Amino acid sequence: MWPGEEVARVFTIGELSRRTGLPVKTIRFYSDKGLLPPTDRTRAGYRLYDAQALAKLELVRTLRELGIGLAEISALLEHTTSIPELAAAHVKVLDEQIRVLRLRRSVLRAVLKRKSEPDEVKLMNKLASMSDEERKRLVDEFWDEVTEGLDVDTEFYDRMRQAKPELPDDPTPEQLEAWIEFAELVQDADFRRSIRAMGEQQAALRGRHGGTTDALSKAQSEHWREWSERAQAALDSDVSPDSAQGRALADEIVAASLEEGQSDTPKLRRSLADRIAQGSDRRAERYWQLLAIINGWPPIPTRVPAALWIVDALRASAR
């Protein structure tokens, strides 16, 4: 029996309206839809409802206030679903609606901050509304394109592609702006060509070394952080790349990068400089800086100026 049942008591639609506060028109609509079939009728044909119908009407009103549709309420009343099942389904829907509303709020905040034009607002809203899966697929498609058909270091590239943008449900304007910039970056044809060129260079070197990593790549893996910090310190102190300090660092990099039987020549130094320059695309660094903002990682400082200082030091030492 329904809560609040009053045995042997029947009500007209007008009485149900007074008891529940619902308009007569609404109750009649629910009744016509089969949600609230009359218990009986008067001789004049007026509908009568018992206490169970009253309790059922209260339930229908509550579910409607929660945004649940008539078809779902009908299924519940016909016992083809349960209240917990119905609640679980609607929690999921509401969570998604809340996520979308939060994103829209973040878009509007970003629009205010950037003073965006209409076309940019449209693009921002489209990118912000992408699902987690769509964002991850965008990254996978990027790495698929820039490595397709290349014999590259799969372990290295697997690490690259595993880092995915994880935009929070309620992103800050900075996170949203970073995601929009990131999405535009990975779809930029020139950036894709640049990253693929790096892969092609690595594949060519691996081909010449029997599928293994060459000496410069190994040396960079082991010493690049130290070399970069020394170059940045020189930059901060306004030390020129063609100084004795620059020459000393260049000599150290060359010594660590020589293959067995290879000689140190000006041509080799220029070649090493060209390779480091190609790998110092500011946009590649920006890719990781944007991911850090989106995912809430510690900020990634820029190291491109230090890398270019090293490039200039190598070229100066080749004269």
Residues 6+ apart with CB under 8 A from 294: 165, 166, 167, 171, 175, 178, 179, 182
Please tell me the distance from the alpha carbon of residue 110 to that of residue 226, in angstroms, as a whole number.
38
- Sort 16 into a burial class: Cβ within 10 Å, 0-12 / 13-18 / 19+: buried
- Cβ 35 vs Cβ 74: under 8 Å: yes
State the average pLDDT for the chain.
Answer: 88
Residues 6+ apart with CB under 8 A from 116: 110, 124
Token output for 240: 């020129």
Please tell me the distance from the alpha carbon of residue 275 to that of residue 287, in angstroms, as a whole number.
20
Residue-wise pLDDT tens digits, 266-280: 999 999 999 999 999
Per-residue model confidence (pLDDT) at position 1: 39
Give which of 161, 148, 155 is closest to 199, Cα–Cα. 148
**Predicted confidence band of residue 73 (pLDDT cuts 50, 70, 90):** confident
Enter the DSSP assignment of 209: T
Q: Output the furthest CA–CA distance in the chain (Å, rounded).
A: 112
Number of Cβ atoms within 10 Å of the Cβ of 192 = 15
Per-residue model confidence (pLDDT) at position 81: 66
Give which of 62, 36, 59, 58 is closest to 49, Cα–Cα. 36
Q: Which residue has the higher pLDDT, 115 or 240?
A: 240
Per-residue model confidence (pLDDT) at position 4: 46
Per-residue model confidence (pLDDT) at position 233: 97
- Cβ 124 vs Cβ 107: under 8 Å: yes
Per-residue pLDDT averaged across 15-44, rounded?
92
b/e code 260-284 from CB counts within 10 Å (16+ = b):
eeeeeeeebbbebbebbbebbbeee
